[in-house]
Amino acid sequence: TTETEAVYTDRFGTVHPLPDAAAEAQVRAEDRAHVFHSWSAQALIDPLPIAAGEGSTFWDYQGNAYLDFSSQLVNLNLGHQHPDLVAAIQQQAGRLATIQPSMASDVRSELARRIAEVAPGDLDKVFFTNGGADANEYAVRMARAVTGRRKVLSMYRSYHGGTATAISLTGDPRRWANEPSDGSVAHFMGPYAYRSPFHSETPEQEAERALAHLEQLIVLEGANTIAAIIIETIVGTNGVLVPPPGYLQGVRALCDKYGIVYIADEVMVGFGRIGEWFAVNAFDVVPDLITFAKGVNSGYVPLGGVVISQRIAAHFDTVSFQGGLTYSGHPLACAAGVATFEVFERDGILERVRDLGSRVVEPRLREIAVKHPSVGEIRGAGLFWAIELVRDPATHEPLVPFNAGGADAAPMAAVAAACKQAGLWPFIHFNRMHVAPPLVITEEELVRGLDIIDEALTIADGYVV
Ligand code: PLP
């Protein structure tokens, strides 16, 4: 008899040994011994070893399949192991794996041109970075150089990245232990109709009052000390907060009035998440700088950047821009970016996102909101939604307290466990579950995932007063 080794063939025809219990134990042991994880108490975590992924699904070493409703960290817009992206990276690696940023490279040029073509207004130059946080750092640095001012205003309930200035800009608890990294940041309240800090009764009122508050802050902080205002076009990890009509245009007007640079952080929402290349296009507003990362190439190779208006770029025509990164515009990352444009165009990804969002996700979430007393509000666009869970629908008391951890977070942990048990990997943050699957998810998978969420929310209902 011949002994056959247990193997599987991936979607590219390569044969791999089938992961077994010993392999899993080794991954776990080495991880626990030597990998230092982000945002975690190291002794309290138990990361799940992942064996493989394809499209909207990934598998653990036990062979359990998970529908990836969080697109990893909302970066995997074209799903796991997209053949076009993998091939583009492989081809580029064979031809020219790396080249430093002060030389020109065909894939970098092409990607910059393609980004400029879909960017709004006169934003037509791209500074490449390695990810989102450094894109925001560099946008701020450009704003400071151009205005000669230092201060930056950003929203409470925002996330702008984990590096020094980016974490200072961040308006959520991840900033607290890291203060002060950059002392020249002031925070303001953005619109949030469901928990209106302005006690508004209509979206128009919320926009108007939030803008009045922002203008007051500008005046009190000293308009001539403020270099930039940075805003996530749709607030991401802090709740998929879609701005009310007129708000972003009002921010634009305030920036014009006071000579402040408007930075739109589109790291999470750019490149198709709501069915637009850049989300500002849906709000008919043109910022001075747009930062991006994640969806530009689904994170197959780290890449981010800043799209720059002609006015700001012109400042650096004769004044040297003092900044750079060894891997800026890395050819492997750019090759995956160019392939992303090709796939989006060939497969009609933007149209597909708008269609699935309005025809499948939104109506189903509306049904879910009516059915489950624990659902306080659902909101979103395209394939980017939040389900906000409450303990008391009348008072909007959240299902778990703000920044809940440990035992306080138990109700959300129970919902998450039920989802995983049923084969769905959820995105959960405080009292919210987000729906952010890969943009290539099939309709059948999307419906199946929403069924699982519907079922899991019965657990949340059990906590409602
Ligand atoms: N900005 C936003 C809106 C984000 O969601 C993120 C990451 O989640 C970042 C910036 C930071 O990006 P990165 O983790 O690539 O540095």
Mean pLDDT on 236-246: 98
In this prediction, residue 16 has a pLDDT band, given cuts at 50, 70 and 90, of: confident
| Residue 124, token pair as written in the block | 């037509």
CB of 265 shorter than 6 A to ligand 1: yes
pLDDT of 180 reads 87
Identify the DSSP state of 182. Answer: S
| Residue 252, token pair as written in the block | 């634009």
Place of tokens 């939104």: 362
Mean pLDDT on 123-127: 98
CB of 139 shorter than 6 A to ligand 1: no
Return the sign of the alpha-carbon dihedral for residues 119, 123, 128, 133.
negative
**Cross-strand partners of 427:** 434
Over the range 197-222, which residues count as b (16 or more CB within 10 Å of their CB) and which as e? bbebeebebbbbbbbebbbebbeeee
> Cα 384–388–392 angle (5° rounding)?
170
First CA to last CA distance, the chain: 65
Percentage of the residues of the chain whose pLDDT score is greater than 70: 99
Q: Are the C-beta atoms of 434 and 453 separated by less than 8 Å?
A: no
CB of 264 shorter than 6 A to ligand 1: no
In this prediction, residue 2 has a pLDDT band, given cuts at 50, 70 and 90, of: very low
Q: Whose CA is nearest to atom 12 of ligand 1?
A: 132
Mean pLDDT on 285-293: 99
Q: Are the C-beta atoms of 298 and 75 separated by less than 8 Å?
A: yes
Rounded to the nearest angstrom, the distance between the alpha carbon of 129 and the centre of ligand 1 is 12
pLDDT of 215 reads 98
Return the sign of the alpha-carbon dihedral for residues 352, 428, 191, 180.
negative
Place of tokens 């749709």: 234
In this prediction, residue 129 has a pLDDT band, given cuts at 50, 70 and 90, of: very high
**pLDDT tens-digit profile of 342-353?**
999 999 999 999
Mean pLDDT on 186-215: 97
Does the pLDDT value for residue 447 go beyond 80? yes
Q: What is the DSSP string of 246-304?
A: THHHHHHHHHHHHT-EEEEE-TTTTTTTTSSSSTHHHHT---SEEEE-GGGTTTSS--E
Q: Residue 220 belongs to what H/E stretch?
A: helix 203-221
User: How far is 71 from 163, CA to CA, in rounded Å?
Assistant: 22
In this prediction, residue 19 has a pLDDT band, given cuts at 50, 70 and 90, of: confident
pLDDT of 3 reads 53
Tally Cβ neighbours within 10 Å of residue 406.
Answer: 8
**pLDDT tens-digit profile of 153-163?**
999 999 999 99
- What is the distance, to the nearest Å, from the Cα of residue 370 to the centroid of all Cα atoms in its chain? 28
Return the sign of the alpha-carbon dihedral for residues 442, 447, 449, 450.
positive
Does the pLDDT value for residue 183 go beyond 60? yes
Q: Which of 289-298, 369-378, 400-409, 452-461 has the lowest mean pLDDT?
A: 400-409
pLDDT of 402 reads 94
| Residue 16, token pair as written in the block | 């791999």
Does the pLDDT value for residue 362 go beyond 70? yes
**pLDDT tens-digit profile of 310-339?**
999 999 999 999 999 999 999 999 999 999
Q: What are phi and psi of 17, to 5 degrees?
A: -65, 140
CB of 161 shorter than 6 A to ligand 1: yes
Closest CA to 191 of 182, 181, 180, 203: 203
pLDDT of 8 reads 78
> Cα 278–377–187 angle (5° rounding)?
60
In this prediction, residue 292 has a pLDDT band, given cuts at 50, 70 and 90, of: very high
Does the pLDDT value for residue 1 go beyond 70? no
Place of tokens 């090759």: 335
| Residue 98, token pair as written in the block | 């790396």
> What's the complex ipTM?
0.99
In this prediction, residue 9 has a pLDDT band, given cuts at 50, 70 and 90, of: confident
pLDDT of 5 reads 67
CB of 133 shorter than 6 A to ligand 1: yes
Rounded to the nearest angstrom, the distance between the alpha carbon of 166 and the centre of ligand 1 is 9
The rounded mean pLDDT for the chain is 96
User: How far is 415 from 417, CA to CA, in rounded Å?
Assistant: 5
pLDDT of 4 reads 60
Substitution site in 159, 263, 289, 306 for ligand 1 pocket (most atoms within 8 Å of beta carbon): 159
Place of tokens 């946080």: 133
Q: Which of 200-209, 306-315, 400-409, 417-426 has the lowest mean pLDDT?
A: 400-409
Q: Are the C-beta atoms of 429 and 458 separated by less than 8 Å?
A: no
User: pTM value?
Assistant: 0.97
